[in-house]
Structure 1
Amino acid sequence: MKFTLAALALAISGASAALIINTPVSAVVCKPLLITWSGGYAPFFLVVVPGNNPSGPALRNFGAQPGHSFTWVVNEPAGTSVGLLLKDSTGAIAQSAPFTIQPSSDTSCL
C-alpha cells in the first residue's frame, strides 16, 4: 500500500482533530474552574447549559476562545446541574457529562 505525504498528513491531522471537552471534577460557587479541551480548530465557542437539558438555552456564554482552556469563576448557585457545550470553527461539537455546582461560604459572585 502506497501513501503520499499529503495523504499521510491529512490522515494524521484528521485523527488529532477530534474535539473532546473534559468534565470538571469539582465546580465550587465563586471559585475558579479550569475548563480544558483537546482537538478541534480555533476559535472555540464555549457555553454552560442545564445539566438536564443539554440542548436547552445557555446559562452562560463565554464566546470565542482562542486556545484549549478557559477559567470560569463559577457564578451559578450551589446544587445547579450544568454541562459544558463546546463548538469549534468547523462546527464540530463536544459535550461534557453533567456535573453539580458545589456550595461555598463565598457567594459574592452570584
Structure 2
Amino acid sequence: MTVALLGGAVFAPPLGAQEPVTTRTPATPLIAHDPYFSIWSFADTTTEQPTRHWTGTDQPMTGWLRVDGKALRFMGRGGAGDAMRQTSRALTPTRTTYDYEGGGVRLT
C-alpha cells in the first residue's frame, strides 16, 4: 500500500500583499501580545486620548521625539511637547503604521 501526503500549502492560493483597512475602526491595535496584554488607540489620532486596554481601562503610553532641542509628542495625551500632526494611518491584519509631521520632520 502506498500513501502520499501533500502539505496543505500546495492547495492554498498564493498570498498577495495585505490591503490596508479603509473603514473607520472602533479602535486601532498598537500592541497586541495576548488578550491580557494589549494596548489600543480608541481615538482618530494617537495624541487625542490616552491609550487603553481593549476593555477600555487606561494604559497610558506616550511617545516623544526631540528635534533641535524641542520635544514633539506623537503618542499620548498631555505631557511635554507639542502634538505632531498625524497625516495617515494604515491598518492591516498584522501591522498598524502611522505617519506624522511636525517640527520640520516626518515620522513613520
TM over 0.5: no
TM-score with structure 1 setting the length? 0.23
Q: What is the TM-score of this pair, normalised by structure 2?
A: 0.24
Greater relative contact order: 1 or 2 (C-alpha under 8 angstroms, separation 6 or more)? 1
